[in-house]
Amino acid sequence: MITHQQYPSILILGRPNVGKSTFVNRLIGSRLSITLDEPGVTRDLLSYLITIEDKTVELIDSGGVDRYRVSDPFSSIIEERVMKAAQQVSQIIFIVDATTGITQPDTKIAAQLRPLSGKVTLVANKADLTHLDYLSDYYRLGLGDPHPVSAKTGHGLQEVLRLVTHTFSAAPSDGDPLSIAIVGKPNVGKSSILNALLGRDYAITSDIAGTTRDPVHAYIRIHNTPIQLIDTAGLKKAKQVNDGIDYYASRRSMACMSASFATLLVIDATLGLLDQDKRLIRHVIEAGRRLILVVNKLDLSTMTKPELTTYLTDTIPELAFYPILMMSATNRQFMGPLTEAIDSLVEHRHFRVPTSELNQLFDAMIRRFPPRSKSGVLLKVYYATQVGSDPPEFLIFVNHPDAVSSDFTRFIEKRLRLAYPPLHGVPVIIRFKPRRAQRD
């Protein structure tokens, strides 16, 4: 069962190019939001969990609010989402630019925020000793004192945070959430899947490839486990990455995938497995991450589910060991199987096989299928033990590790997976180590 994780929340908003993402990056201590001088880089609501004096707080970076930017097809959607979020969050930090004075978008945003003024803190960014000329102008917005800060240097940020969070109650943390990255090429339906899991329109969805730029974070619980969902920017081929936004978006997507507890890799049923999809699958498996393959747009495919499954496992045989879910993101009936697949990975994340049980399996397996070496050397298997669980790693002691063939390694992996269903969806690492002959 999916429930929504609740934390005290702070929305960071303002017009484009006032330094919101730099402000957020400074607070979270990492460059997680893309920061470029080009306005309108951030589009979605980007959530991050931070701890402030024993208080777990959700910090939300928003897209720049400026309906007058007709060059951005998402400007009206961004404004609608941001103002809806403003109604729901605990506190709001409204950022203006201390070097420019009040602009038309500043005035419009302030008018929309005045009914919420009790939870609004006005912050004048880019303020230092040489840029305070316009600071007094911002009293005219009717949102109280403008607090001067410099997101670039960090000056004044902690004071603002303490002011904003002083009414928040301290609550015990239940640990870092498990992160699940939603990955795939542009326009395969990643954001639609995120919205379906959340049960609301959270990430912006569009037929325009490249709509999502930053990784979009959202928080849920599956049973009692906190989960961080990360909708990543669509991964383009290297030759299609033609600007700074695409470059940084791709780098962050790959980093999220490598670091996450699990990956939902989304492909288009009408296109099949593209070379890029194959590389991403290999990347996830080799990184030791859990994998669920999501085949979206099933309603548009000319192949049936069994035909698609056969095609996928014939193309990449390892996929037989991972969940393959076929769906149409516009029809949310897939939610049950998807939630069950995620829940299974979470439930068995610490799965271990007792050494005695593991060796009973190996004894029976070796008696029935004696190992063949790749060099003609007689290969002896002495015993096995599990030495890791994230991902599961098995150490097998033999007389000649160099004589172990890749076929024998695959055979052991298959037998382990057949014997232990909790290994479904999880990369399995098998290593061989020598044992001295005199101990035979």
Segment 10-27 shows an average pLDDT of 86
Query: Given strand 55-61, what is the order of strands in its sheet?
Result: 46-52, 55-61, 9-13, 91-97, 120-125, 147-148
Residue whose C-alpha is closest to residue 59's, from 9, 21, 96: 9
Residue 9 CA, chain-centre distance (Å), reads: 19
Percent of the chain with pLDDT over 70: 78
pLDDT tens per residue across span 332-368: 667 788 888 998 998 898 999 999 999 999 999 988 8
In the chain, what are the domains?
7-165 (3.40.50.300), 178-347 (3.40.50.300), 355-439 (3.30.300.20)
What is the chain's mean pLDDT, rounded? 80
Angle formed at CA 105 by CA 100 and CA 111, multiple of 5 degrees: 115
* pLDDT the model gives residue 84: 84
Segment 279-301 shows an average pLDDT of 88
Lowest mean pLDDT among 128-137, 275-284, 328-337, 404-413: 128-137
Segment 114-129 shows an average pLDDT of 89
Lowest mean pLDDT among 10-19, 118-127, 234-243: 234-243
pLDDT tens per residue across span 74-113: 566 777 878 888 888 899 999 998 888 899 989 999 999 9
Element (H, E) at 170: none
* pLDDT the model gives residue 393: 95
Read off the pLDDT band of 19 (50, 70, 90): confident
Residue 434 phi, psi (nearest 5): -75, 150
* pLDDT the model gives residue 328: 82
Greater pLDDT, 401 or 134: 401
Read off the pLDDT band of 143 (50, 70, 90): very high
Greater pLDDT, 350 or 62: 350
Q: What is the CA radius of gyration of the chain?
A: 26
Q: Note the pTM of the prediction, 2 decimals.
A: 0.72
Lowest mean pLDDT among 42-46, 60-64, 343-347: 42-46
User: d(Cα 421, Cα 231) in Å, to the nearest integer?
Assistant: 28
* pLDDT the model gives residue 245: 41
* pLDDT the model gives residue 213: 46
